[in-house]
Structure 1
Amino acid sequence: MIHTLAFYLFAAMVIASGALVVLSRNPVHSVLWLILAFFNAAGLMILVGAELIAMLLVIVYVGAVAVLFLFVVMMLNIDFAELRAGFVKNAPLGVAVAVILLAELVLGIGAYRVGAMPLGTPDGAAAPLLGESNIENIGALLYSRYLFLFETAGIILLVAMIGAIVLTHRESRAARGHQNISKQNSRRPEDATVNASPEVGKGIEL
């Protein structure tokens, strides 16, 4: 009984939070509703025994992605009048995308009811470990059979992170206020000031 009540509670909160993400006029409020939706989705994952996915939803999506969205939205100077005008302008495109997604969802549900696709005979290499938790089974499979793919994905993400840092961290030598520390340290005291007697109306050449 408690599982049924918890399922309906989490499911209702996910649906309500998802609707408020779209309907909220303030982008900051939309991100906060998105965080609430993630938390309730994590509760649903715990109910079905997928505690690893629930942990990833809280740590990765809430702890990193959603908080990053929140900081970005709060730091941007958003013109809400222009945002509403863009929403009205792009409303037909949004409706078309929603219709396409709905058609794909209906098609997917119909294909699921017809029957699963034959994907081959399992060889037993991915058999679960008896008496172990869901996280331990996923870890054993990830670090044994898919170890090379897992490390390759990590290298790709590392290269992407380094590339983003290199592209965004460009020093402008011609920027105003740029200091050459070595040149300042090697400057002699007698060269620090220059006594000049300019003629009237001619000024000083630097």
Structure 2
Amino acid sequence: MNFTTFLFYAFATILVLASLRVITARNPVHAALFLVLAFFQAAGIWMLLKAEFLSIVLVLVYVGAVMVLFLFVVMMIDIDLDKLRAGFWNYLPVASIVGGVIVLEMAAVIWRAFPSNGGAVVPEAANTIGQTKALGLLIYTEYILAFEIAAVVLLVAIVAAVALTLRKRKDTKHFDPADAVRVKRNDRLKIVKMDATVHAPVAPVETKEAP
């Protein structure tokens, strides 16, 4: 066993354990942190397979953006853990069946993905799998239309998310940034002239002597 094979088994073992802890951890913050660990191990496996672009994208997009946002949301809102755990074991049979079907489908895909020539990989394909240059050439030449459609779909999703957050609700205070930008000094400050007030003299307090 060489060092690369040892790293693969180490990354794979930690990935499986971290994935199990994601679904078994009682604290949502701990589950999110285990998911971050699982993403890092998957990125390490991609790097061992010489797919450096996929590895970097996995770390930057999922760990650097999605999971950080998820952690902020989990830590800022008040989550009722007892309500989340309620009925967990009731869904276990259905979850087991769905998980088994997914495992069988992935096994079938992986089994059919192996080449029929004794497991040998074509050298030309092995030298270009996962490389940033080869992927960029494919995206901007052969798959340019699909890439532009995906970009438009993502743009529409961003605009829709912003529009949903800007909707007016009765239980929240609405703030219009345009009104704040157009505000002037005279709208915020008003100088009022008032006549000077004269304080009346205070009469001395008479004190009675004790008999």
TM-score (norm 2): 0.69
Amino acid at match of 2:20: A
1:3-22 maps to which residues of 2 (within 5 A)?
3-22=4-23
Amino acid at match of 2:159: I
Task: Name which of structure 1's ranges 7-16 and 99-108 shifts more when overlaid on structure 2.
Answer: 99-108
Gaps of 5+ in 1: 117-126, 191-206
RMSD across aligned positions (CA): 3.6
Structure 1 residue 15, shift from structure 2 partner = 0.8
Match of 1:137 in 2: 134
Match of 1:64 in 2: 65
Is 1:39 matched with 2:36?
no
Q: Which has the larger radius of gyration?
A: 2
Q: Take 1:31 and 1:133, find their aligned partners in 2: how far apart are those partners?
A: 27
Gaps of 5+ in 2: 114-123, 193-211
What CA deviation, in whole Å up to 9, does each residue of 1:50-72 have, x standing for no partner? Answer: 11111111011101111111111
Match of 2:144 in 1: 147
Amino acid at match of 2:48: L
Higher RCO, 1 or 2 (CA under 8 Å, sep at least 6)? 2
Change (3 A) 1:175 1:40: closer
TM-score (norm 1): 0.71
Match of 2:187 in 1: 185
Amino acid at match of 2:81: F
Amino acid at match of 2:187: N
What CA deviation, in whole Å up to 9, does each residue of 1:82-135 have, x standing for no partner? Answer: 222x2xx1433243132223134225535754x56xxxxxxxxxx869789711
Amino acid at match of 1:185: D
> 145, 148, 156: which one pairs with 2:153?
156
Q: Take 1:93 and 1:44, find their aligned partners in 2: how far apart are those partners?
A: 32
Match of 2:49 in 1: 48
Q: Among all aligned residue pairs of Structure 1 and Structure 2, give the percentage whose two residues are the same amino acid.
A: 34
Q: Take 1:132 and 1:72, find their aligned partners in 2: how far apart are those partners?
A: 36
Amino acid at match of 1:156: V
